[in-house]
Every structure is written in structure tokens, then in C-alpha cells.
Amino acid sequence: MLRTIFLFVLLLSTNHAFGQDDWIDTSKHEGLKTIPTDYPFSVYSTNNSVQDATDTLNTLHQAHRYFNELFSIDLPFSVMLLDNRNWSRFAFYPPPGMPQAWQGNIILGAEKSAIAHQVSQALSQLPASQLTQLTQVYGSPLNLDLFYRDTLSVHELAHLYHFYSGTKPQRKSLQELFATLAMVAFFKQADCTSCYERMNAYPQFILRGGDRDIEFKTLADFEEKYLNGLGPRNYEWFQMHFYQHAVQLLESENKTLLIKFRHFLLETDLSKIERMSDNELIEALRQNIGSDVADIFEHWQSPKQTDV
């Protein structure tokens, strides 16, 4: 295993991903309308107009430029904006509006998505005093598409930067932490205070709720039951904790962390090397990314709550 670790250190000297320019699964676009835009990526939709998603597309454009420069790659991708009625026809997973990415496509809700509506309806049962921070950011009534679509689209774009060259990570938790780190890094440097608030307010609200009624809490659970086996609430609980870890990592780290992390995902992909044991993986993380990242996987627990 140590030989693998030291070999990987040498591989870090390159910062270029080799992928296929035709990697985008265009068969997913059949039956969708092609939306003319000036963006360097194609946009498809079940609707004739994507005016409601203008902010999302602008954010993706900015994030695309940021990640391209950071990772030294000009990533080709497409965006699919789907209405609730046609979601199951084109998307991989329910519920409608749950952002996802695969084979060069980012799939997002095209309108008031079912997932945003369902969560907003559940939250509306709480006393108004408990929702003050959310309504200040997402409005009243709550428009959580500002989180699920506008914000998480960047998380999904980040996934494509490792899917482009590898699709079988050592652990699913690694790819999720990477995508969340990339999302936080982008919004942290963006000249848009409200964008950062939209990313941060809902996760902080969920994290303050603790883990009551959360059945699965270990990383072993996450790997075994990813994705549908966890259920929406339990899956979101994990994602919010990845978010909190990402925020804390980026308090002291700079963007080189993302570069090293992406290289780690690519060079330890299961298409290249065998699956590591937990101890081997933790040691590889420590040597090739850093102790702070390794410690997350060695001592998985809910991070201390801090408002950021």
C-alpha cells in the first residue's frame, strides 16, 4: 500500500484530466427542447423557456470558468431543466427537482420543483419564529429552489470534474465531500454575498436540528445504502454534515486542497487500483491530501455547530 501512496505523490505533478470530448450522453436529450443561449454549454428543457432558471445558468457559467481555471481543464457538459411532470422520464432519481449529474449532464428542476415544495410545506408547520433566518434568505413563502437548484447546481457541476476521468471512487463519501468542498470554495470567492447566504442558511438550519429520528449515521451506512437506501431525510443529514466539514476545512485551507483532492479521486479510482481498506484509505488521505481530511474519515462525527 505504501508503494501505491508514494506512486500517487509522483502522479500529483500533472494537473490535466484525460477524458472523451463526446462523453456527454446525448440520448438523454431526446424529447427535450433545445434552448438557444450564449453559454458555452448546451441547455435542454421540457419547457419552451428557462427564464426562471436564468440565475442558475449564470451561476453555472461562472462556476464553470472558475473550475476550468482551477483544474486546468475545459469541461464539456450540458444542462437539463425538467418540469415535475416529466422528471421520471429523464432523470435518474426522484423526487422531482433533486439535482443530479451523470455522463456529462446536470439535471435540475425547471420550475417550482416538487422537492423544494415538499420541504417548504413541511417547514411551514413550524412556528414563524423558528423560520426567521430562512425567510430572510429564501423569502416568504420559502423559495427553496434558490437552494436546491441555484446552489446545488454547482455541487453537481463539481461532480462532473471527477466523473470526466473516473466514475468509481474508493468511497461515495469521498466524491460527495469533494463536490461540496468545490461548491463552498466557489461561493466563498464569488462576489455575491446573497449567493453565499443561499448556500449556507438551509444547511445551518438542518444542522441545528440535530440527529433526532436519523437512523443511519456512520460512513459505512452511507456506503452501503447510498443513495436510495438512506431515504431523503437521512441522505440530506449526511450531505449537511459533509457541508459543515467542508466549511471548516476551507477556513484554513486554500484552493490547492481541491486540486489535491481531485487528483486523489482520479488516481485511486477503482478502475485503476484495488479497493483500499479503511485504514489504508485514511493513511493515503493523510499523505496525499492532508491530516484534516483524513481525520474526518478516521473520526467521523457531527462537526461542532458554528454559524458561518
Q: Residue 21 — pLDDT band, cuts 50, 70, 90?
A: low
Structure confidence by residue, pLDDT tens digits, 141-173: 999 999 999 999 999 999 999 999 888 999 999
Residue-averaged pLDDT of the chain: 90
Instruction: Give the number of C-alpha atoms closer than 13 A to the C-alpha of residue 228, restricted to the C-beta side.
Output: 4
Domain boundaries along the sequence of the chain: 165-308
| Portion of the chain with pLDDT greater than 70, in percent | 90
- How confident is the model at residue 301, as a pLDDT? 64
Cβ atoms of 63 and 55 within 8 Å: the answer is no
Calculate the CA 59 to chain-centre distance. 14
Specify the pairing of strand 105-109 against strand 78-82: parallel
Which of 20-34, 106-120, 184-198 shows the lowest per-residue confidence on average (mean pLDDT)?
20-34
Q: Output the pTM of the full model.
A: 0.91
Q: Angle between the 172-189 and 291-298 helix axes, to the nearest 10 degrees?
A: 130
Alpha-carbon gap, residue 195 to 206, rounded angstroms: 18
State the amino acid at position 142 in one-letter form: L
C-beta of residue 182 within 8 angstroms of C-beta of residue 258:
yes
Residue 245 near residue 265, CB atoms below 8 Å? no
Residue 253's pLDDT is what?
67
Angstrom distances, CA of residue 298 to CA of 215, 246, 302: 21, 16, 13
Neighbours of 106 (CB within 10 A): 25
Render pLDDT for 125-141 as a digit per residue (tens, 0 to 9): 999 999 999 999 999 99
